[in-house]
A and B are shown apart, each in its own frame.
Chain A
Amino acid sequence: MNLRDTLTLSFSTVVSYRTRSLLIVLAMALGVAAVVVLTALGEGARRYVVGQFSSLGTNLVIVLPGRAETSGGFPGAALGQTPRDLTLDDALFISHLPQVKRYAPLNVGVAELSAGGKLREVTVLGSTSELLPIRHMKLSQGSFLAHGSERSAQIVLGSVLAHEFFPDGNAVGQRVRLGDSRFMVSGVLAVQGESMGFNSDEIAIIPVDYAQELFNTNTLFRILVEARSRNAIEPAKAAIAHALKLRHDGEEDVTVITQDAILATFDRILRALTLGVAGIAAISLAVAGILVMNVMLVAVAQRTSEIGLLKALGAPAADIRRLFFAEAVWLSLAGGAIGYALGNAGAWMIRLAYPTLPAWPPAWASMAGVATALITGILASLLPAARAARLDPVLALSGK
């Protein structure tokens, strides 16, 4: 019996045992769909977190005042001293390090914004022109803080603020009042939405000198540093820590963290999670495989006299084995394909329901899901097929 006839004959068998076939295909499809949907979820979560982090900036090194170390606490605190603050001079100092591509000092506070008779409290960031590229921000109108113009009274508004104060969309060039000072709107940020719980659509950005004046301080909240490359992140971190220690009379009173280390950890955890979840889903495929085996064994028992007939007609054992084997291939193919479609539909619905979650099933998972369905189905058919081929023709004909 040639391959084509084996396939067509087994296909017609699969089709005519409708209930049995549907049951197997359903079990297989659910297993594959589970693999696809669950990995899509895991992968979506991973991409979401990675996306959130990288929207903060690439190759980012963050300097914050104080020693964020549990062992030993603040060195100064033990002596009753407050740790030294970060200053603009510190920022300027580390900007000369060779590993540093650019830097932006950062001040944060709350102030009252008023214009055209409207008034509200806003979060104010004080920084420099470099904040835009470091934080990957985008403008929808006008320009950002001009380079080297720290002394000019410019303000950049978040998209929501701009809309609230200037609903006509003509914010650029308008004058606003922040606290007691007057600023001119130089640009409006594009809609960015929430990122790491911080809504940049409702902030105002002014030059750092003005911010320090406004909040009556000469210290910084953070220094954001962009390293020259991914490989320069760790050297930059070390160099910055070393430089500031020297400047601060040998006191390690700042904390330098890298975005990358946190990101890598999350990435690892979430990848492992996706794999684990895929593994659990694959178990349901193994269960489907056992189901296939049982149903096929029952099928062999039901069709004993038919197998006997085929033998009487002169079918060699190999033909009979291949017929049952081909049935399993058809069933697993159908189960794999339907499961793949179901899983992708499920992932699509998740993306519809949670647009922020990029729940795309990874290609490897879809492939592995379908392949596992095929392999389990085929493995599960080996025993029943061998049993059918081994039947004694005389006994089989009499249905025993």
Chain B
Amino acid sequence: MIRLTSITRVFRMGDQEVRALNGVNLDIASGEYVSIMGPSGSGKSTLLNVVGLLDRPDSGRYELDGSDVTDLSETERARVRREKIGFVFQSFHLVPRLTAAENIELPLMLEGIAPAERKSRVDAALDAFDLKDRARHRPAELSGGQRQRVAIARATILRPTALLADEPTGNLDHRIGAEVMALLEGLHHAGTTLIVVTHDRELGARAHRHIAMRDGEIVGDEK
């Protein structure tokens, strides 16, 4: 469960202030499938970063799964990210010198899981995301769709409660993008909360709840 109360995030550029989030209130229940849409610069990514504990709001309150996470220390925020949040990015963000399998393994390593268990979990993920024959390939040798599948496998290997995707199909062509969305929706069906930021109306419409943003404020929220 995600509960944002009066969240404000202000960026200062010289003496200019940008209110990227301006008093945002938002409740998202566990297992929801939400799309966030809005013009460029409306604060979608900032909202996602705050929800994912990558960014700190300047004011307001954030409650995640019943506990207040607004004022957690940096180390605690890292732990919550590791345990509860999965990120999927437009530009995949794979480590170029690691193979597909090694990229998927990273969160398990950070979590300190033993190598034997890591291997079986990575193998299972490679299977589930149809990447078996690409396990030993580096990102440069993978297609865009394959890269995003590796990124999704990595984001979900620790079974997060919420999956945050910021324009996950932005770098993919329409057909591959639809495949990736289907994959994410599969994870949603398995119980994960799914929040997708997108510019694509068609893809956005597939969500069960549609949030519209403008100038750092939520201007529409319909199911």
**A interface residues, Cβ below 8 angstroms from B:** 1-2, 5, 9, 12-13, 16, 305-306, 308-319, 393-394, 397
Contact = CB atoms under 8 A, between A and B. Distances in A.
A1 B83 contact: no
Nearest to A312: B87
Nearest to B95: A306
Interface of B: 49, 52, 54-55, 74-75, 78-83, 85, 87, 89, 93, 95, 97-98, 106-107, 109-112, 154
B175 to A, nearest CB: 27
Given A393-B54, A394-B55, A314 B82 contact: yes
A302 to B, nearest CB: 11
A397 B112 CA distance: 23
A309 to B, nearest CB: 5
Q: Tell me the interface secondary structure of chain B in the complex.
A: helix
Given A313-B81, A318-B75, A12 B93 contact: no
Given A316-B75, A316-B79, A397-B93, A310 B110 contact: yes
A14 B95 CA distance: 14
Nearest to A12: B97
Q: Tell me the interface secondary structure of chain A in the complex.
A: helix
A393 B49 CA distance: 9
Nearest to B75: A316
A56 to B, nearest CB: 64
Nearest to B83: A314
A313 B106 contact: yes
Given A310-B110, A312-B93, A316-B79, 10 more contacts: A305-B93, A308-B93, A310-B106, A311-B81, A313-B81, A314-B111, A315-B78, A315-B82, A316-B75, A393-B54
Given A2-B112, A16-B97, A312 B83 contact: no
Contacts of A318: 75
Contacts of B93: 305-306, 308-309, 312, 397
Nearest to B114: A2
Contacts of B83: 314
B49 A394 contact: yes
Given A305-B93, A309-B95, A393-B54, A1 B110 contact: yes
B54 A314 contact: no
Contact of B74 (A5, A306, A309, A317): A317
A9 B109 CA distance: 10
Nearest to A1: B110
A317 B78 CA distance: 8
A313 B86 CA distance: 7
A314 B49 contact: no
B74 A316 contact: yes
A312 B109 contact: no
11 contacts: A5-B112, A311-B54, A313-B81, A313-B87, A313-B106, A314-B81, A314-B83, A315-B82, A316-B74, A394-B54, A397-B89
Contacts of B79: 314, 316
A310 B87 CA distance: 11
Contacts of B87: 312-313
A315 B74 contact: no
A114 B93 CA distance: 95
Contact of B81 (A13, A312, A317, A394): A312
Q: Max chain B CB contacts within 10 Å: which of A12, A319, A397?
A: A397
